[in-house]
Amino acid sequence: MRLILLGPPGAGKGTQAKILVEAYGIPQLSTGDILRSAIAAKTPLGLEAKAIVDRGDLVSDAIVNGIVSERLDAEDCKPGFILDGFPRTIAQAEALDLMLVEKGVKLDAVIEIKADADVLVERVINRAKESGGARADDNEEVLRKRLNVYQEQTAPLVAYYTDEGLLRAVDGMEPVEQVTAAIKAAIEG
């Protein structure tokens, strides 16, 4: 099973990916997690990516394409994978299509987890109020930035994968279990 989870930040891609890992026995491939690990370990990649990730912008296509191509060659990706947070631009989607042709494999589905941007921001503001402090405001600002980046650069992938006949949309505002059920139905149905 080869899947892409598409959706704005905070929609639940990571949560659903972890559940699907258990259900299908295939790895989650999160470019955000890989970048965060590199940043924490202060590797050359991490040092290059830190400021970009911190302000909510996208790391260059060349960097993330390289990360994904290498990761897809690992043995654990042979039976399949769940891409979480990649692709995020049309150029990344095109690069992925090429990689998959080269590796001789095909995507099964692209799951769009739909979520209302206003509700996502509201959740973060409420969390900020509960915890208090200035840092939470920074988070809200960065989240708004990431939502804008999503609208401008990632949302066009919905049309891209609709054209490829791969897109399945689910309502990400439902409870976690219901979203999982909808994803499984979209994949298996």
Residues recognised as catalytic: 13, 88, 127, 135, 146
Residue (28 or 180) nearer to ligand AMP, CB: 28
Among the residues of 8-134, which ranges form H helices? 13-24, 31-40, 44-55, 61-72, 90-103, 117-131
- Asked if residue 46 belongs to a known ligand binding site, the reply is no
Provide the mask over 130-159, with x wherever binding to ligand AMP is found by CB under 6 A and - wherever it is not. ----------------x-------------
Cα separation, 77 vs 99, in Å, equals 13
Residue choice 52, 100, 166, 173 for contact with ligand AMP (CB under 6 A): 52
Task: List the interface residues with ligand AMP, window 53-72 (CB under 6 A).
Answer: 53, 56-59, 64
Residue type, 161: Y
Provide the mask over 14-33, with x wherever binding to ligand AMP is found by CB under 6 A and - wherever it is not. -----------------xx-
**Residue 9 makes contact with ligand AMP by CB under 6 A:** yes
Q: In what order do the strands lie in the sheet with 28-30?
A: 28-30, 81-84, 2-6, 109-114, 167-171
**Residue 35 makes contact with ligand AMP by CB under 6 A:** yes
Torsion-angle region of residue 133: left (phi > 0), alpha (psi -120 to 50) or beta?
Answer: left
- Smallest CA-to-CA distance from 35 within 57, 3, 67 is with 67
**Residues in contact with ligand AMP by the rule CB under 6 A:** 9, 31-32, 35, 52-53, 56-59, 64, 85-86, 88, 92, 146
